[in-house]
Chain A
Amino acid sequence: GGIITQTPKFLIGQEGQKLTLKCQQNFNHDTMYWYRQDSGKGLRLIYYSITENDLQKGDLSEGYDASREKKSSFSLTVTSAQKNEMAVFLCASRVGANTGQLYFGEGSKLTVL
């Protein structure tokens, strides 16, 4: 089996600050995702990456940047943190192009002061 590791688990920042979340997977999966989870809502897609160095915008990409320099890692940057940014960010991955199971990390909780 494999694992998805998200760091940090908790991130506290100031309004206007640039903040970065990291995700590592050892499944050797091609596709990786970043989702945002707000309380009482479903997951919303921020960015995804089909393969190394590929980036695709999701429905919620404004205010975020992403980076996929290696197949195993996928980073998400909040370009200017806002108070309504407080949420849990979930990283996920899956094999290849065929629709299949997503594997998730445990999440990173962002708090903006």
Chain B
Amino acid sequence: AQSVTQPDARVTVSEGASLQLRCKYSYSGTPYLFWYVQYPRQGLQLLLKYYSGDPVVQGVNGFEAEFSKSNSSFHLRKASVHWSDSAVYFCVLSASTGNYKYVFGAGTRLKVIA
């Protein structure tokens, strides 16, 4: 069975500080991994995705994530957060090609304070 765990339901950081949002997945095959962001009263938007290759992937707005097969993790990072980064972040897993289903983590609500 596939699963995604985001251990931190809420994270608060100061503006300008660095950020790491954690994601652990469970899947025996080759995972396709995504991070999505949901701003208030909006749908989800893709930040970045990992299919294969370089384990560090770059996304929009200065976000990056690192895939670790040994740790079954796909943590999201940003060097310096802005107040506008306040949102809910979802880690998402899908199996390999031809699969239609996605497994969503419960989300991490990020609050950036002045």
Contact = CB atoms under 8 A, between A and B. Distances in A.
Nearest to B91: A42
Contacts of A90: 43-44
A41 B96 contact: no
Contacts of A53: none
Contact of A56 (B36, B99, B100, B102): B100
A99 interface: yes
A104 B32 CA distance: 18
**Chain B residues touching A, range:** 20 to 34
B106 A102 contact: no
Interface in A63-108: 90, 92, 97-99, 101-102, 104-107
A34 interface: no
Interface string B29-45: 00010101000011111
Nearest to B41: A106
Interface residues of A, number: 24
Nearest to A56: B100
A58 B100 CA distance: 10
Nearest to B95: A99
B39 to A, nearest CB: 10
Interface in A4-20: 4
Contact of A99 (B4, B94, B104): B94
A3 to B, nearest CB: 10
A45 interface: yes
Interface in B78-114: 90, 94-107
A48 B101 CA distance: 9
Interface of B: 4, 9, 32, 34, 36, 41-46, 49, 90, 94-107
Given A42-B4, A101-B49, 8 more contacts: A43-B104, A48-B100, A58-B101, A92-B43, A98-B97, A99-B94, A106-B41, A107-B41
Nearest 7 interchain pairs by C-beta: A104-B43, A42-B104, A43-B104, A104-B44, A99-B94, A42-B106, A106-B43
